[in-house]
Chains A and B, each alone.
Chain A
Amino acid sequence: MEVSRLRRKCAHPWFQLRQLFGVNTPRLRRIVAKRWLEDVLFSLAGAVCTLIGLVTLGALFYNLMHDGLHRLDWSLLASFPSRFAERAGVLSAWVGSLLIMLVTTLSAIPLGVAAGVYLEEYGKKNWRTTLIELNIANLAGVPSIIYGLMALGLFVYMLGLGRSILAGGLTLACLILPIIIVATREALRSIPQEIREAAYGMGASKWQVIWHHLLPYSTGGISTGIIIGLSRAIGETAPLITIGALTFIAFLPFNSASELVTLRWLDNQFTVLPIQMFNWVSRPGVEFQANAAAAGLLLIAITLSMNAVAIVVRYRMRKRIKW
């Protein structure tokens, strides 16, 4: 090699840098390539794991459709359970689910929203509110079957409500109360303080601020929480089995519209859709499994559409209100 070329090469800044730091370009390239490969592999792993979840959801749908779609018709909705699989239906179950949900809604919503409003707007920072907050956080982690045991001891025997629709509805109300309280608090917290101050400045009392301003502005968030809570309640099986809901009921809780009005049905025994499905799953025989799949399709359709509504409500509220 010519001396002049060598000298030129040594004078090049890259060469000097390499001498200075001992950087080895091919090695650097290899490291960069390896790091890039790591990124690609990890995001592939992430995509695969996500797909596992989605594929399971798909397989669940496919399985239920494959097994139960042919059983899903009006006669299923309009007939009582029966010893004969092809004549059995979910009439008493869906009516029971509906009535239970009615009791749950009417008791859990006022209680939950009121508790949320109190904790967020009235509660001062002292040991009592801290206790209530810790307690709610804990309640959200209590397994649903424990609520069932509590209801069995408290509602069914101690308060003497029996294995009735009222007891069942109250059980599920206790179960979804933490969800509604948390949703209410989050919705109220997202309203800026200026709104409250403006209303107070106009001479409104605390309750007027809440009733005329805070509650209307947080309807979206609160109703999202309520819908999520109710969709959870409608699929709950264990607590209702625990309080002794029957698995085989071949009558409706009321005989006529007038009985529906007099609320006598609150004392009647009941079954609900998930329990009916559980009963059919536990039986041997492909015919009953088809019934179970059809009931499962109904359940999934109800819960998923409720969740879809909640997502849409949340999305639209987020778009419309920007503080």
Chain B
Amino acid sequence: MSRPNPSLIWWRRRREWTIESLLCLAAVSSVLITAGIVGILMVESARFFQVVSLGDFLTDTMWTPLFEPPRYGIMSLLSGTLVTTAVALAVAMPAGTIIAAYLSEFAPHRVRECVKPVLELLSAVPTVVFGYFALLFVAPLLQKIMPNLPTFNMLSAGIVMGIMIIPYISSLSEDAMRAVPMILREGAYGLGANRVITVFRVVFPAAFSGIVASYVLAISRAIGETMIVAIAAGQQPNLTLNPTEPAATVTAFIVQVCLGDLPHDSIGYKSIFAAGFTLFLMTLGFNIIGHLMRRRFREAY
């Protein structure tokens, strides 16, 4: 037996080491993106809060950073985000959960295999197309039922957004429900339960963590959704909880500002970062809540 050439081994070790370092750099890049997001948002928001006090930001009832006199009350943007998100969830949570239960417990195998990918196409449609649909199809449809409804309104934007996020809920919840072991269901059937009771008393509690995680994901999607609300919900900040009114959301405001050509150092430019930071904190909060809920309610089988 001949011994391998020592220099060959050296080269090989060196190559392995180089490759591992390069791959590690790639993995670290994802942390850099987060650092970039947090860093940029914090720096620019800090510059914003040098001009505007945090108290004004949180308590003022008007948001007019581009007009005279400028007012910076984020609440009037947040109310838009809140209302559209609430409408979307009112559509998506019941529908998504029922679809998930139906596909996982009731539907024949072939129906599930066909329906699931098609439903997932709903979330693959570009959101700008959904915006078009909300403004030019759903809003006129709603106007036939409610003649006083303005063309731009949060209701139609919210409904379309809700339909868009149905697949997020249905497909994640269905995975969670299917992961519930068959033995639990058989136990319920053995006690004389029918499918509905099995779903509500056995499968739901057992899959609770996954279902909540899907809700949280859906909420954070709805909060961050931009194009549907920018197109269909109107672009005027409006402190209201009435979904039939037009109102701008946080995201719609950012888009509106960016469409104009703002100078780099203007307060309008800084205000979009303050608004974005608020948005980021909200979605981060929901992500953390989802994470904690999942840990707390995780049942091991």
Contacts and interface: CB of A to CB of B under 8 A. Distances in A.
A82 interface: no
B258 A244 contact: yes
B292 interface: no
Interface stretch (B71-79, B133-141, B179-187, B201-209): B133-141
B121 A57 contact: yes
B224 A241 contact: no
B1 interface: no
B16 A206 contact: yes
B191 interface: no
A75 interface: no
A52 interface: yes
Nearest to A121: B23
B121 A132 contact: no
A281 B131 contact: yes
B143 interface: no
B103 A38 contact: no
Contacts of B24: 118, 122
Interface string A134-162: 01111101111111111011100110000
A24 interface: no
B34 interface: yes
Contacts of B22: 114
B272 interface: yes
B176 interface: no
Contacts of A241: 255, 258-259
A115 B27 contact: yes
Contacts of A146: 37, 41, 224, 276, 279-280, 283
Given A132-B31, A149-B254, A281-B231, A237 B37 contact: no
A167 to B, nearest CB: 13
Contacts, number: 268
Interface in B13-33: 15-16, 19-20, 22-24, 26-31, 33
B225 A278 contact: no
A56 B121 contact: no
Nearest to A304: B121
Contacts of A147: 37
A241 B127 CA distance: 14
A26 interface: no
Contacts of A52: 95, 163
Nearest to B137: A63
Nearest to A211: B19
A189 to B, nearest CB: 16
Contact of A50 (B103, B221, B224): B103
A149 B131 contact: no
B90 interface: no
Interface in B239-281: 251, 254-255, 258-259, 261, 264, 272-273, 276, 279-280
Contact of A138 (B34, B121, B124): B34
Given A289-B136, A304-B121, A242 B167 contact: no
B224 A111 contact: no
Given A53-B122, A303-B125, A207 B16 contact: yes
A149 B102 contact: no
A122 B129 contact: no
A153 B273 contact: yes
A96 interface: no
Interface string A30-55: 00000110110011011101101110
A114 B103 contact: no
- A interface, how many residues as a size bin? 35 or more
Given A145-B255, A207-B15, A281 B135 contact: yes
A60 B127 CA distance: 12
B126 A300 contact: yes
A111 B26 contact: yes
A142 B280 contact: yes
Interface string B66-103: 00000000000000000000000000001100110111
A63 B136 contact: yes
Contacts of B224: 142-146
Contacts of B264: 157
Contacts of B19: 207
22 contacts: A39-B106, A39-B195, A46-B103, A53-B99, A57-B121, A63-B132, A118-B24, A119-B27, A143-B220, A143-B280, A148-B254, A149-B37, A149-B40, A149-B273, A153-B40, A178-B30, A207-B20, A235-B127, A238-B127, A238-B230, A278-B227, A278-B231
Complex A-B, nearest 4 residue pairs according to Cβ-Cβ distance, in ascending order: A143-B224, A46-B102, A235-B126, A114-B26
Interface of B: 12, 15-16, 19-20, 22-24, 26-31, 33-34, 36-37, 40-41, 43-44, 94-95, 98-99, 101-103, 106-107, 115, 117-122, 124-133, 135-137, 163, 166-167, 170, 194-197, 199, 217, 220-221, 223-227, 230-231, 251, 254-255, 258-259, 261, 264, 272-273, 276, 279-280, 283-284, 286-287, 291
